[in-house]
Structure 1
């Protein structure tokens, strides 16, 4: 099916009073600014701008909020993945099963850690790693399984834990988007050996630049990751961890978190629960207005689980006919969107040498062709959502209501 050939339906477009950007945080940041300013001032007065007191306080606060025994703050979600894989013992040439539908860092982190990504298909409802496809991807060289929690919900962690246990694999989580999500009360990232969080500005809890963290309940993994982020140091000496893993005996890197980012995150953390509630309200408003629009193939669906889980909407993702034409139409009318993700990982040119072909993972490929993220952040107003939904309806029907 060609999703880009036809144009929008005839008829005048709905009136709009202002653009609706894909992301904005001016209002919510202004609310948090007094707390952030006080912490930033403390950083300046202290004169320690990296790996200092604010970072230590942030690690303690995040550990308490998530329930993690250990939190290791680093300079990005991508580095968090790389260092977690290394701290968990990934050795050169080891295979890690990952979904074919995810951000590039899911697979590139495996390569950067010295391993080889092995792709599997996704569940078409949750967009997360399909347990049966993951099991089929395991070979004698596979040592790890890394599901990704995407958009608003966790992967099927009961089934994936079963896959890992049957094949003797270490389970690590790309939980970069999943702050606040829990499985039977356990926070994302703590359902296996460890997981990560990203604090990229657009995330549910965002800094003012790149920042990330590793979560784990394993003291040895935390110790290794903590040293690896700081050139392999423990204190002022270079570290060696015999018996922990082969990977931790390699050189460390410079991946310390800046104290200014920690100060921002500490100032915003008390408002996180309210931001999560606001995102739920926005998602419900979108769904109410879009549920009967012809041309929208699917709205976000939270999977029914036997486990006690809670959705946390990071992105509001729809599947649409003529997805690219819809995105262009919205852009022409001042509405920002994002495509998650235009090319599946197994078909990215950088992974061509792995030998994957089009058609191998049909659910991932279909998602790449049809999904579109609409504007979604706590600063959105009801009027903004009305504008976006009226334009989407007009694109498909020629009518704004």
Structure 2
């Protein structure tokens, strides 16, 4: 950090370049382009991958708002599909049914502790001639053998040894929002891709459309603006923070896995708790890397209030499915259109999970959950 301050280059400088190289090595991606947020990473990726005004992109109805809003910001139209039975990823069969002549891309989202069904999504893309992009904002460390290419250079602490999430198609993204598995001290993100053209286009778009290697095509023109771009560059201060935290990322992922296993053991079979993540097997060829520990429970809002009153913070992922957000009212969806997404929104609750969480605190969370359901007359 001190060298950033002494250098005086605070944006898109040497630390950003160093972080990009380090993340390329860690993920095995051919290219990592550091940008100012995970949301901008999605917008830039979609544009670089060839999204045109009015093109449709199939996305799950259950995700963070940026999944769908990025499509709009890139000029496209989000088309929602339901999530898979027993999981939270895009259902390939539902995605297949949502394809129209205007569909250009399919964008599965990797949520919480595992990748979506990439094999299924890739099959839909192949059969309909679509471009596969991945909202892998939460997925650092997640890997899947469904992706083509050699195993990642840094296999990490997950059971899977395939390519890193985000590399199954045209590209993916990472978010470094402070709460993420690898978090900055503000907003930051990255695009990762094995496609040279996608990477070069993202680099142009995030730097006001200025040419990278394309400078060679415009002799005599200083700083040529090749396409209309934006100011989406990462700050070197954020890059310096991320480089420091990257050194302990493996240990942080392992600690999250230990805490998740502790929760699994304590909550499995508890009345009122419908599902714990450890009961849901990952898709073939993938491993579990826990960013959010998400349970599905009865009387979710009452349980969250009970825990809050006792000093235990929780988070609802997500309060409202995407198709029922007011900003997408013009798409004219109704309650019941995507029942699995709606059911997840009504039952899902994230419990405290971060590397510094003591085992005793995780046990106290479980004690309070057990006490809540016992107090409502539920017995083992």
What TM-score, normalized to structure 2?
0.91
How many residues get paired?
Answer: 352
Does the Cα contact within 8 Å between 2:271 and 2:379 map onto a contact in 1?
no
The alignment status of 1:47 with 2:26, answered yes or no, reads: no
- Distance in structure 2 (CA, Å) of the matches to 1:238 and 1:389: 59
Distance 1:141 1:237 in 2: 36
- C-alpha contact 2:115 2:283 (8 A) present in aligned 1: no
Q: Does 1:397 align with 2:358?
A: no
| Structure 1 stretches of at least 4 aligned residues deviating more than 4 Å after TM superposition | none
For 1:302 and 1:213, the matched residues in 2 are separated by 29
8 Å CA contact 1:231, 1:238 repeated in 2: no
Alignment match, 1:8:
none
1:302 deviates by: 3.7
Distance in 2 separating the partners of 1:137 and 1:334 = 43
Map of 1:148-187 to 2, 5 A cutoff? Answer: 148-184=109-145, 185-187=162-164
1:162-186 deviations in Å (ceiling 9; x for gaps): 0000000000000000000111210
**Aligned-pair distance for 1:117?**
0.2
**Counterpart mapping for 1:31-180 below 5 A:** 40-180=1-141
2-side partners of 1:75 and 1:393: how far apart? Answer: 42
CA contact (8 A) 2:273 2:295 kept: yes
Which of 329, 353, 375 pairs up with 2:306?
A: 329
1:319-398 alignment runs, 5 A limit: 319-398=296-375
- The CA deviation string for residues 362-387 of structure 1, in whole angstroms up to 9 with x for no partner, is 10000000000000111100110111
Query: Aligned equivalents of 2:359 and 2:113: distance in 1?
Result: 21
Q: What residue is the counterpart of 2:292 in the other structure? A: 315
Helix, strand or coil at the partner of 2:64: coil
Give distance in 2, aligned partners of 1:234 and 1:326.
53
Separation (CA, whole Å) in 2 of partners of 1:166 and 1:146: 15
Contact 1:170 1:192 in 2 (8 A): yes
Contact 2:56/2:103, CA 8 A, preserved across alignment:
yes
Match of 2:281 in 1: 303
Distance 1:42 1:159, change over 3 A: same
Offset of 1:400 from its aligned partner? 12
Distance 1:286 1:51 in 2: 41
Counterparts in 2 of 1:319 and 1:193: CA distance versus 1, 3 Å:
same
Give the deviation of 1:68 after TM superposition. Answer: 0.5
In 2, Cα distance between the equivalents of 1:126 and 1:217?
A: 28
**Cα deviation digits, residues 20-41 of structure 1 (max 9, x gap):** xxxxxxxxxxxxxxxxxxxx10
Summarize the Cα distance change of 1:400–1:239 in structure 2 as closer, same or farther, 3 Å threshold: farther
User: Aligned equivalents of 1:45 and 1:169: distance in 2?
Assistant: 47
Give the gaps of 5 or more residues in structure 2: 146-161, 213-221
Q: Partners in 2 of 1:96 and 1:204 — Cα distance? A: 27
The question of 1:231 aligning with 2:208 is answered: yes
Q: Assess if the C-alpha contact under 8 Å between 2:175 and 2:190 holds in 1.
A: yes
Distance 1:143 1:349 in 2: 25
Q: Shift in Å at residue 350 of structure 1?
A: 0.5
- Structure 2: distance between partners of 1:258 and 1:375: 29
Q: Is the 8 A contact 1:153 1:302 kept in 2?
A: no
Structure 1 residue ranges without an equivalent (≥5)? 1-39, 241-248
1:29 maps to none
Q: For residues 227-306 of structure 1, what are the structure 2 equivalents within 5 Å?
A: 227-234=204-211, 237-240=223-226, 249=227, 251-300=228-277, 301-306=279-284
TM-score, L = length of structure 1: 0.86
